[in-house]
Structures are given as C-alpha cells and as structure tokens.
Amino acid sequence: MQPGCFHCFESLCMGLRKSKPRRFAGYDDVNTSGEVTATQNTSSVYVTEHNSVHSDSVTCVDPFALGTCVTGSKDNSVALFDWKQGALLHRWNGHTRDITKVKHIGTTVYSSSRDKTIKAWQTNPGKNDPSLTFEGHRLVVTAIDLNEDGSLLFSGSRDNCVRLWDVTRPTSISEREVSRNLVSCVKWIPGTQCQVAQTGEDKMLRVWDTRNMQPAFTFPAQQYFQTYCDCSRDGHFIVTCSNGFNGKGCEATLWDVRAQQMICRYVGHYQTSSACIFLPRLEHVSSKDLIATVSHDSSLRIWEREGRECVASLDFSGSGPLTDICAWDDGSLCISTTNMGVFQCVLDSHEGKPRLLKKCQF
C-alpha cells in the first residue's frame, strides 16, 4: 500500500471486511449513531446468469425502454442490453478510454469518456459509428445530462469546467471554469429549461443557470467529496451522496431546491456512497417516496425519503464497489458493479414491507 493513498486504504478495508465478516457485522444493520436501520429484507431466488456484456468493470448504467438498459465500461464500449431476452442489442466502440457516463433520449445514446470526448450514437441497426463527437474538455469528462426535449447537453470534467452544448454541433455553446471544481455529476432539474444541479470534489452542490452559465445558487459546502446527484421528478428536491470510509461520510443528503437548504441525511453505508436516485412512486411497494443508494461497500439500500429509515437492503458480496444505479416505473433496478457486471433486481412488497430480489446478472 502506498503511503497516504486513500484508494489503497479503502481497498484494504474492503478486503478486511470480506475476510473477517464478524469484525464488520455491526455495520450491516446499524448506522453510525448506533440506531438500527434495517435488516436485509430479501428472499433466496434463482438468479438468471447471462453472458457478460462487458469484459471489464461496468462504470455506468442508464434506463432505456422497459427491460433494456444502456451500459458503459472500462472496456471502452457502450452497450444496449435486453435482460428479458438475454440479448445484446447493440454495442458501440469508438472511445479510446473508459466510459464514465451514459445517457439517452429517444433513439440517441450519449457517452462521456476519459478520452476527453462525448459521443452520440444511434440505436438504428447498422449504425455503429458515432453520429457526432463533442470536443472541448481538456481532461476526463466525468458527467453529462440532457434537458427534457434533448436539444441541449450539459457536461462537466476534471478540468474544472462545465460546458453547454447544442446536440447538433460538435463545439460547446458556452463554458465556465470554477477553481477546484472537479465535477463528479450533473443532472438537469425537471420542469426547468435552464437549471442544472452539479456536484464535485470541492464538496459543493451548485445549481447552474444555463442562460448565463453562472451558479444560480450554491448550497453550503460539505465535509466530504460529493460523488453523485439526482433530482426529484417535480424538481423540488435534490439528493447527493459522498465519499468516505469506515462509516464516516458515506451518506446521502436531501436538499430542498425552493428553500435552498438541507433537509436530512441518510446514514448507513460504511464506504463511499457512489450513486443515489429518487425512485418512481411504487404504490404496490410503499405509500411513501423512496430513495435508493449504492456504495463501495457492495450494498444497495432503500430509504424512506421523509422518514430517513432504511427499509430494505441487498448485499452484492464479491462484486466489488457498486458504481451506478437506475430504475424503471415497474420497480426494476439495474446496478453496475466493478467485478460482476450488472445485476437486474426488483423492488416489491413482502408481508407489507419493501423487499429487494436479484433477478438476473449480465
């Protein structure tokens, strides 16, 4: 282990947990204040195993039509997979480095990469080359998102810049650089054509106004790097998550956009929380709004948005850090992992309580 290397230390902690599970058993059901949150509410079911879609770690996932998802990987490829049929529908090769994010609208898929570019791909049969390549960032492009009509794309990079793009042009419309703002995630706020939430390693959550490429407002700086963000469908809330280890940091935080203030935190992961999303309203599961988080501790957790209670969890032992998550309106979830590809799960109800089930792996 290199002296002072955070990643090596985190990997060592993960290895210790897997080799000595009793030592870490307390973290499974207890948050850092010692309060019981939730036991795993799961059942043992058969998991269908399809051929691996990627030859390396899967870094990101995005929902496509029901039963299909778009994935990006360290193998430099983007894939469209149908888990119901167990069929790879399309693979696009064109990036020269790892894929960092994937997004789609209609039949167009967008991918960002460590090769400093963003590419647009068409899902039409026979269309294997990118329809457009967006160039301008000077370092790895870490985040992309689209407005609701798909006409504008917002991106962020480790070059401290955010950029706004017309999806028909290969060069950005405008850009803004903020010192030490190593961008980790961007999400367009629903119901707006000009506001984008953005997190980064400067520990800030910003809301950008794309009309002048200035922050409309900024939430108070946090103690840990902010790794991911998502926006509620009504545009009233943002959820973020943070890095950390041994239960310090590793939480998700709920923010009120209108009041411009923090509401609450969700504490229970013991390694970096890598992704968080608002789940669609699932009346057959719960009458309450739910949030999902995934972590480098190889676990998925479901939280009540208002009550802050963890109501279900699922362990992915052996998969390494979980990297991303996406959801569909029927309760389907896809979770991308470092070592074991992608898992498709279902959130349903059992004996009146939310329950997570693994269904297939690819």
- Neighbouring C-beta atoms of residue 108, cutoff 10 Å: 17
Residue pLDDT, tens place only, 235-263: 999 999 999 999 999 999 999 999 999 99
> In the prediction, which pLDDT does 45 show?
75
Residue pLDDT, tens place only, 60-114: 999 999 999 999 999 999 999 999 999 999 999 999 999 999 999 999 999 999 9
Residue pLDDT, tens place only, 330-352: 999 999 999 999 999 999 999 99
Q: Which of 75, 36, 82 is nearest to 59 (CA)?
A: 75
Q: Which of 124, 50, 55 is nearest to 90 (CA)?
A: 124
How far CA 112 is from CA of 76, 118, 151, 155, in Å, comes to: 10, 4, 17, 9
Q: Cα(303)–Cα(267) distance, rounded to whole angstroms?
A: 10
Residue 30 identity: V
Q: Residue 44: pLDDT band by 50, 70, 90 thresholds? A: low
Structure-block tokens of residue 139: 């370092």
> In the prediction, which pLDDT does 304 show?
97
Mean pLDDT of the chain: 90
Instruction: Give the rounded percent of residues in the chain with a pLDDT score beyond 70.
Output: 88
Q: What is the 3-state secondary structure (H, E, C) of 242-309?
A: ECEECCEECCEEEEECCCCEEEEEECCCCECEEEEEECCCCCCCCCCCEEEEEECCCEEEEEECCCCC
Phi then psi for residue 238, to 5 deg, are -125, 140
Q: Cα(339)–Cα(353) distance, rounded to whole angstroms?
A: 30
User: Do 271 and 320 meet the contact criterion of CB atoms below 8 Å apart?
Assistant: no
- Neighbouring C-beta atoms of residue 323, cutoff 10 Å: 23
Q: Does residue 121 register a pLDDT over 80?
A: yes
Q: Is beta strand 353-361 parallel, antiparallel or unpaired with respect to 48-49?
A: parallel
> In the prediction, which pLDDT does 243 show?
97
